[in-house]
Amino acid sequence: MRSVGRLVAFSDGVFAISITLLILEIEPPGHDRSLLHGLLALWPSYLAYAVTFLFIGQVWVNHHVMFDHIRGADRTVLLLNTLLLMVVAFLPFATSVLADALRSGDDERTAVVFYAVAFDVTALTFNAVWQYARRHRLLSEALDPAGATAIGRRFQLALAWLSAGALLGAALPLLGVVVIAAFNGFFWLPIRGEGPRSADYAAGA
């Protein structure tokens, strides 16, 4: 079994690169109309950029929360984490597809569902790492069962929320985007009534 230090450093690298590559998906406007008009017409790109940026930022924070409690990585953890990174690194493409559809107005439903599913699969692989580590007793002994359950529930909530986003987006595209944006809000902002313990664990604060 290997210590998780290098796994976390490598993952941070992929998170930082993915988040920064997002901007490459936005092309400067052409010269067929005024620049101001062109820049304003790119609003779907800015929106998609911001939503994905905040989402990856959140995955980064929660990835640290998760690996603070995992004391070692066996080969399966390495593989599951690589699958998680593979989905995160895919998000700039999904973001580009969404922005493209919102700009053109074509196939918005398909694009929103594609985007939401990409987020949802991120949450799925994230949960897979946690569940595997928990079942195979790779969690730190300093973490009591109640804490482990609280964290696991928070991660499952993310999965449920993003699945709902995909389903609602299939019905009403705009609603899907709102649900995903609200997800960012929920996971970033402090939550009223949340005890300090679970706040520490599940929110990375």
By the criterion CB under 8 A, which residues form the site for a second copy?
A: 1-2, 6, 9-10, 12-24, 26, 28-29, 31, 34-36, 39, 49-50, 53-54, 57, 60-61, 64, 74-76, 78-79, 82, 85-86, 89-90, 92-93, 96-97, 100-101, 104, 106-107, 110-111, 114, 188-190, 199, 203-205
By beta-carbon proximity to a second copy, the closer residue of 145 and 196 is 196
By beta-carbon proximity to a second copy, the closer residue of 10 and 71 is 10
3 state DSSP class of 128: helix
Q: Which residue has the tokens 């008009």?
A: 37
CB atoms within 10 A of CB 95: 26
Nearest approach, Cβ of residue 175 and a second copy (Å): 19
By beta-carbon proximity to a second copy, the closer residue of 172 and 199 is 199
Phi, psi of 33 (to 5 degrees): -150, 180
Interior angle at CA 36, CA 32 and CA 37, nearest 5: 55
Nearest approach, Cβ of residue 188 and a second copy (Å): 5
Phi, psi of 31 (to 5 degrees): -105, 20
By beta-carbon proximity to a second copy, the closer residue of 145 and 187 is 187
Q: How far apart are CA 61 and CA 66, in angstroms?
A: 9
Residue type (1 letter), 81: N
Q: Which two tokens stand for residue 121?
A: 């699969």
78: Cβ contacts below 8 Å, ≥ 6 apart: 2, 7
By beta-carbon proximity to a second copy, the closer residue of 65 and 139 is 65
Nearest approach, Cβ of residue 31 and a second copy (Å): 6
Nearest approach, Cβ of residue 153 and a second copy (Å): 18
